[in-house]
Amino acid sequence: MLQIKNLHATVEGEEILKGINLSIKPGEVHAIMGPNGSGKSTLASVIAGNEDYEVQEGDIIFDKANISELSPDERAHKGIFLSFQYPVSIPGVSVTNFIKTSINQIRKSRGLEEMSASDMLKTMREKSKLLGIDRKFLSRSLNENFSGGEKKRNEIFQMAMLEPKLAILDETDSGLDIDALKTVANGVNKLRTEDNATLVITHYQRLLDYIVPDVVHVLLDGKIVKSGDKDLALKLEREGYDWLKTETVNA
């Protein structure tokens, strides 16, 4: 579904990603772990098409098409979703109206009619239940004065509404207490199918207790230095990243 080949990206002239290779198949959950500043969030932003980053080299192939040149909205139309580490607040637009606009713009790009008001309402009711979101929340201004937990829950709610093929969760666990973490993880798990994939970006192994990855990658200084199964995450939790740094130097 997603293939990243030799991806190099810079921001303001500084190289952050230094040749990433990654391949994700439908139905899989991949996790990317790494210390601060290793390039995790940059990778998420670049896949989603953030124009602040410049791709110097390499390709991003999604569903057999090269999407490297596509705008963020065109990537969303193809089914890529990024759950933000720091969701932006937009005073004056309610959660409901934002999601309606988003869904209908995506449908429009696929040549579909707008979703009927009753279908929209029904879907919202179902999905909000999944994440324990109450109705009052939906009429609030998007992310304005939301707590950290509410922001993350709202991101996963939007993901549930948009039903992306590839969901990238950027530090979704940061700022969540254990109950909120369970709710969010449970929501993500219920949305998993054989046809979609999830890329989880995280600092801590904690989230991976609840969203169990098929593959774990370690990102160090803009490169994936090791990949393995979920036990790799546990090892990182116990031993930190230093052993990998030495290993990389030695190699």
Of 5, 6, 12, give the one whose Cα is nearest residue 54: 12
Stretch near other proteins under the rule CB under 8 A, chosen from 16-24, 67-75, 180-188, 216-224: 67-75
Smallest gap from Cβ 96 to other proteins, in A, equals 8
Give percent helix, percent strand, percent coil of the chain, each to the nearest 5. Answer: 40, 30, 30
Q: Is 50 in the site for other proteins (CB under 8 A)?
A: yes
Q: Check: CB of residue 188 under 8 Å from CB of residue 199.
A: no
Stretch near other proteins under the rule CB under 8 A, chosen from 3-11, 85-93, 212-220, 226-234: 85-93
CB atoms within 10 A of CB 171: 21
Smallest gap from Cβ 73 to other proteins, in A, equals 4
Of 42, 80, 45, give the one whose Cα is nearest residue 61: 80
Q: Is 200 in the site for other proteins (CB under 8 A)?
A: no
Q: Is 175 in the site for other proteins (CB under 8 A)?
A: no
Stretch near other proteins under the rule CB under 8 A, chosen from 11-19, 109-117, 187-195, 230-238: 109-117
Identify the residue among 1, 32, 33, 76 touching other proteins (CB under 8 A): 76
Identify the residue among 158, 172, 183, 198 touching other proteins (CB under 8 A): 158
How many whole angstroms separate alpha carbon 64 and alpha carbon 1? 7
- Whichever of 86 and 243 has its CB closer to other proteins, that residue is 86
How many whole angstroms separate alpha carbon 162 and alpha carbon 78? 11
Smallest gap from Cβ 72 to other proteins, in A, equals 4
How many whole angstroms separate alpha carbon 236 and alpha carbon 244? 9
Q: Is 77 in the site for other proteins (CB under 8 A)?
A: yes
Q: Environment class of residue 9 by beta-carbon count within 10 Å: exposed (0-12), middle (13-18) or buried (19+)?
A: buried
Q: Is 93 in the site for other proteins (CB under 8 A)?
A: yes
Phi, psi of 59 (to 5 degrees): -135, 150
Q: Check: CB of residue 23 under 8 Å from CB of residue 2.
A: yes
Identify the residue among 72, 132, 175, 228 touching other proteins (CB under 8 A): 72
Which token pair is 47? 């896949």
**Reduced 3-state DSSP string for 33-99:** ECCCCCCHHHHHHHHHCCCCCEEEEEEEEECCEECCCCCHHHHHHHCEEEECCCCCCEEEEEHHHHH
Q: Is 222 in the site for other proteins (CB under 8 A)?
A: no
- Whichever of 108 and 182 has its CB closer to other proteins, that residue is 108
Q: Is 103 in the site for other proteins (CB under 8 A)?
A: yes
Q: Is 191 in the site for other proteins (CB under 8 A)?
A: no
Q: Is 181 in the site for other proteins (CB under 8 A)?
A: no
Binding residues for other proteins, per CB under 8 A? 48-52, 71-73, 75-77, 81-82, 84, 87-88, 90-93, 96-98, 100-106, 109, 114, 117, 158, 162
